[in-house]
Amino acid sequence: MHRMKGSAARSRRPMLMALVLALVVTALVVVSGSFGSSGHKRAAQAKPPATIGKGGGFGEVYIAKTSTLKKTLFKATLLPKDPTSRNIALAGLGRADRKVNYNLALQCWKNNGCSTGTGGKLSVAYIEQFGENTYREMSKMEFILQALTYKDVGKISYSSAHSNFTQAIADFKAAIAQHVSLIVTYPDFGDAMIPVMKEATDAGIPVATYAWGAVSGPGTNYLTVVGEDTCALGKTFAYVMNNQVKSGKIAFLGGFPGNPLSEGWQKCEEPALNPNIKVVAKEPTNWDPSKVQQVVAGILAKNPDIKGWSYEYGGGMAQGAVAAYKAAGIPFDTVLTLRTDDVIMGCTADAMKNPNLKMFYYTSGNTQIRVAFTAAMMKLKGAKIPPQIVFPIELQNQRVRDSCVKGYPQSASATSLIPLSLLHRMYP
């Protein structure tokens, strides 16, 4: 960050520390709040345009509403820097405003697939290897809604291996045997999924991952990975911990053992921490709130003075960690760096009214599945797709931007592009 000079710097420094949430640790990491990377308060700007982007190709229009982008990305400008990736993101997110049959979407979501009724020749598949929490169920609906914006898609299918590796492989092989047109997935089992991902690719089926489900060989073993650079996310988490914790003990929680999302940020956060901050635990939780409670309870038993937690699942912290603290009789005086903006964690933090709780979070990224879907559709029409479609990172301060958004189901994310009326039908 560039420093301001003179009395203006002295007067603005406290506000800067309160609002600037992430250092520009790489070109992918940006700051949040109402201050730019120069450290100077931005001047009032003219009314933003109604849409962003221009042009199109391969059956797509590279334009999205500013309001849509702002809702799901926090700011409409937080788009991939690479021009081709940016166009794919605009095309994918822009389709969220197209009218689709929500009754059909809900039926498709409940029945794990459906015929779209368009007579389209394409069959599309979301192959889920976990599927046990609301985040993945919302991604499933985002996938369905995106598919319904394409008239040439005639069939939508969904499968979940429910954390069973053998079933995950079988689901992929079944989709290949059925000659589906494209596959979107999150590779919970990491590089162990490469053989079947490559088998699909070799069969002419584009495979795209989202939520930075990065395994080896994007562009060769599979089409592309969409999401934020999780190494940059880890460095941003570290920046927050360095400034908020300064010294003491923190812990990392992750999802499935070996999954690329958890590994991505963890391997980069720890080296970026101050020498006075010690990571006393790195524990998988399978993104299961009950397991989060057990894991946190165990860590607290050995380290009751722990000062911070980094994790990608805010809902798991709200439903698991808070209960563990309460059972241990320890105040929830901690620093949280979270990858998701689950409403329940925001509302839990608000209800506590605890000045010693500091919470910083990123967007859930459910809508990244839309971009992955569109990238695969464009590939089918001959487009050259980048092996990585990378979104910039900006953490939000719960005290500045409240993630407890009225009207949303507690387990949902308010940055999702699922219409609120449909979310209420999904989770009545």
> Tens digit of pLDDT for each residue in 342-398?
999 999 999 999 999 999 999 999 999 999 999 999 999 999 999 999 999 999 999
Q: Which two tokens stand for residue 402?
A: 């409240």
> How much of the chain is helix, strand and coil, in % rounded to 5?
40, 20, 40
CATH fold for domain 230-361: Rossmann fold (3.40.50)
Q: Which two tokens stand for residue 397?
A: 């301060």
Q: Is 152 exposed, middle or buried (0-12, 13-18, 19+ CB in 10 A)?
A: middle
pLDDT of residue 13: 44
Which is nearest to 393 in space by CA: 213, 225, 232, 226? 232
CATH 3.40.50.2300 domain locations along the chain = 76-229+365-394+412-426, 230-361
Instruction: Assign residue 70 a region (left: φ > 0; alpha: ψ between -120 and 50; beta: otherwise).
Output: alpha
Q: Please write the tens of the pLDDT for every residue from 198-256.
A: 999 999 999 999 999 999 999 999 999 999 999 999 999 999 999 999 999 999 999 99
CATH architecture, domain defined by 76-229+365-394+412-426: 3-Layer(aba) Sandwich (3.40)
Q: What is the pTM of this model?
A: 0.89
Q: Find the helix or strand (DSSP H, E) in which 56 lies.
A: strand 51-57
Average pLDDT, the chain: 91
Note every long-range contact of 60-63, with CB atoms under 8 Å and residues 24 or more positions apart, other chains counting. 60/87, 60/88, 60/91, 60/374, 60/377, 60/378, 61/91, 61/94, 62/86, 62/87, 62/90, 62/91, 62/94, 63/90, 63/94
Per DSSP, what are the bridge partners of residue 305? none
- Alpha-carbon dihedral 199, 138, 371, 102, rounded to 10 degrees: 110
324/290 Cα distance (integer angstroms): 10
